[in-house]
Amino acid sequence: MDTNRTAPDPDGQYLADMFITARREYGLTQSELAKKSGTAQSTIARIESGWANPRWKTMYRVAKALDKKISLV
């Protein structure tokens, strides 16, 4: 993470909102989603706060855990 930034990446906020919405629709906490997807809870938290952009592997694992498909369009 770039420690010189003072605010989350604005472009990452769209993805963050998508993660939060999908997780809540499934009724999971960040910890539950992390466990189900094999991802660290801190990673889920950073993505949802807009501070991190996930790798494709992470996106795939989270999407699979939420029964969602990933689309580029």
Which domains are seen in the chain, by residue range?
Answer: 10-65 (1.10.260.40)
| Tokens of residue 54, six digits | 């996930």
Q: Residues 10, 17: contact at Cβ < 8 Å?
A: no
What is this structure's pTM?
0.79
Q: What is the pLDDT of residue 31?
A: 97
pLDDT tens-digit readout, 37-63: 999 999 999 999 988 888 999 999 999
Q: Residues 40, 34: contact at Cβ < 8 Å?
A: yes
